[in-house]
Amino acid sequence: MLKAVVAIAVALSPSSVCAFAPINSGRSSSSLHMNNPFDQLQNFFSGDAGAGNGNGGKIAVVAGASGYIGKSTVRESVRQGYKTIALVRDKSKVESEEGQLMYGTFFEGADIVECDVCDPEKLTETLKEISSEANGNIDAVISCLASRSGIKKDAYAIDYQATLNCLESGRAVNARHFVLLSAYCVKNPWLQFQQAKLKFEEALTSQNDMSYSIVRPTAFFKSVSGQLEVIQQGAPFVMFGDGEVTRCNPISEADLATYLIDSIGDSSRKNKIINLGGPDEPLTMKKQGEMLYSAVGKEPNFFYAPLWLFDTIIDSLQWVADTLNSEKFENAAELGRIGKYYAVEDMLTTEPNEKFGTMTLQEHYDKIAVEGQEYDPYTTMFAKAPTKESVAEKEKVEA
C-alpha cells in the first residue's frame, strides 16, 4: 500500500531525488567507440574538442554524469566548448548497446571516466591525472550527484559525503570553481536528504579555496511527467487534496544544464545560492493534469486522494520502526514523508531573476505524448527504456 501511495505521490510531485551517483571504482577513459583508454585520453586533450565557444582550453568535470540532469550537463558542457570529463559509476552501462541508445548523443565529444566518488583517495588521484594529462588546472567541478532513494543512509553517503569528496578532491588539485546542483526544497527542510544537502552546502560555503555557485532548481520536467502512461491507458490523473494545494514552475533538463554550465564563467553567480525555476507561471497539480490531457488528446479525468492518507501510513510505519527498532520500517516511513512533502509544498519561484529557460511544461508534455519518455522507477511507473525499434520510430516521427 505504501509503495503504491509513494509511487503516485512522487510521480505527480516535483521530486529532486533523481540523479545517478557514481559508485564503482577504477580509472579508465574512452569515447563510446575507441578501444585504447590511454590513446583516447591523449587524443582528447590534444584534439580540437570543444573549440566552439572559446572554452577549448578549459576543463569541466561532471560528477553524476549518467543521471537525468548530469547527462544533459555533459552535453551542454561540450556544446559550450569545455574539455568535458564525464565521471560515471559504470562505464559499461554507458558503452553497452542499451547504454548507447540511452546516452550516446549526450556523451559525444566528452571523455568518459569510470570513477568511485565514494573513494576520496581514488577520486583525488583521478583528478590529478586529468590535470596532469591536460597540462593545466581543472576550471570547474560540476556536481549533479543525488541519492536515488532519499533515505538517510543513501542521502548522507551521496548528497553529503560523495559530494564532499568531489569538493575536497577539487581543492586538492586547485580546481577553480564548484557548481552544485542542489534542490529548492532545502529552504524548508524536514527530510533526511534535505538535511544532507544543507550539510554539504555549509561545507562548500565555509571554504575559501574554490569559488562556487549553488543552484537550487524547483523541479525537473521528468518529475512532473510520471502519469503520462497512466492516462494514456485510460486511468485517471491522481492528485492529492483538491488539486490546488501546491504550485510549481519546473525547469527543463536542457535549460537547467545551460544554467549550470553558464555559472562556471558568470561572475554574477560567483559564491551565490540561486533558486531557479522555469518560465511557466505557477502551475497547480490540477493545471498540470489538464495540460497533460491536452497533450494526449483526451478529456480530463481526475481522482482526488485525501492528504490524511499519508499521515495514517507514515505514523503507522514509524510506530513499527520505533517499536522494533527497524531500519527497514524507518526507511519506509521516510519514503512516505518524501511523498507527503511534495504533495503539500510549493516548488515555485516568483522573482523574475529566478526564472530561466525557454521550454514550457506544455511543450514538454506535447513532446513526450508523441515520443514517449524513459523509464525511471522514481518518477515514472510505466515508461520503458529505449530500444532499437523505439529509437527508429522516434527518428521516423521527428523526420
Quick one: three-class SS letters along the chain? CHHHHHHHHHHCCCCCCCCCCCCCCCCCEECCCCCCHHHHHHHHHHCCCCCCCCCCCCEEEEECCCCHHHHHHHHHHHHCCCEEEEEECCHHHHHCHHHHHHHHHHHCCCEEEECCCCCHHHHHHHHHHHHHHHCCCCCEEEECCCCCCCCHHHHHHHHHHHHHHHHHHHHHCCCCEEEEECCHHHHCCCCHHHHHHHHHHHHHHHCCCCEEEEEEECCECHHHCCCHHHHHCCCCEEEECCCCCCEECCECHHHHHHHHHHHHHCHHHCCEEEEEECCCCCEEHHHHHHHHHHHHCCCCCEEEECCHHHHHHHHHHHHHHHHHCCHHHHHHHHHHHHHHHHHHCCECCCCHHHECCCCCHHHHHHHHHHHCCCCCCCCCCCCCCCCHHHHHHHHHHHC
Report the pLDDT value the prediction gives residue 5, as an integer from 0 to 100: 46
Report the pLDDT value the prediction gives residue 55, as an integer from 0 to 100: 73
Asked whether the predicted pLDDT for residue 377 surpasses 80, the reply is no
The Cα-based distances of 343 to 245, 312, 346, 364 in angstroms read: 8, 15, 9, 22
Rounded distance between C-alpha atoms, residue 235 and residue 257, angstroms = 33
Q: Which residue has the higher pLDDT, 221 or 2?
A: 221
Report the pLDDT value the prediction gives residue 96, as an integer from 0 to 100: 84
Rg (CA), the chain: 21
Q: Which cell numbers hold the place of 287?
A: 493545471
Which of 14-18, 26-30, 69-73, 220-224 has the least mean pLDDT?
Answer: 26-30
Beta-bridge partners for 216: 275
Which of 97-101, 152-156, 270-274 has the least mean pLDDT?
Answer: 97-101
Report the pLDDT value the prediction gives residue 386, as an integer from 0 to 100: 54
Report the pLDDT value the prediction gives residue 373, as an integer from 0 to 100: 85
Mean pLDDT of 254-262: 98
Rounded distance between C-alpha atoms, residue 348 and residue 354, angstroms = 10
The dihedral sign for the CA sequence 231, 235, 239, 243: positive
State what percent of residues in the chain have pLDDT above 70. Answer: 80
Mean pLDDT of 184-192: 95
Report the pLDDT value the prediction gives residue 11, as an integer from 0 to 100: 46
State what percent of residues in the chain have pLDDT above 90. Answer: 71
Mean pLDDT of 160-169: 98
Report the pLDDT value the prediction gives residue 301, as an integer from 0 to 100: 97
Which of 41-45, 66-70, 135-139 has the least mean pLDDT?
Answer: 41-45
Please tell me the pTM assigned to this model. 0.85
Beta-bridge partners for 114: 88
Q: Residue type for 364, please?
A: H
Report the pLDDT value the prediction gives residue 53, as an integer from 0 to 100: 61
Asked whether the predicted pLDDT for residue 14 surpasses 50, the reply is no
Are the C-beta atoms of 145 and 162 separated by less than 8 Å?
A: yes
Rounded distance between C-alpha atoms, residue 389 and residue 394, angstroms = 9
Q: Which residue has the higher pLDDT, 66 or 35?
A: 66
Rounded distance between C-alpha atoms, residue 302 and residue 294, angstroms = 13
What domains can you pick out in the chain, each with its CATH number? 16-226+246-276 (3.40.50.720)
**Confidence at 2, pLDDT banded by 50, 70, 90:** very low
Q: What is the mean pLDDT of the chain?
A: 85
Q: Which residue has the higher pLDDT, 204 or 15?
A: 204
Mean pLDDT of 272-294: 97
Rounded distance between C-alpha atoms, residue 181 and residue 59, angstroms = 18
The dihedral sign for the CA sequence 227, 228, 233, 238: positive
Mean pLDDT of 187-197: 96
Mean pLDDT of 358-378: 87
Tell me how crowded residue 203 is: count the other CB atoms within 10 A of its CB. 14
Report the pLDDT value the prediction gives residue 105, as an integer from 0 to 100: 85
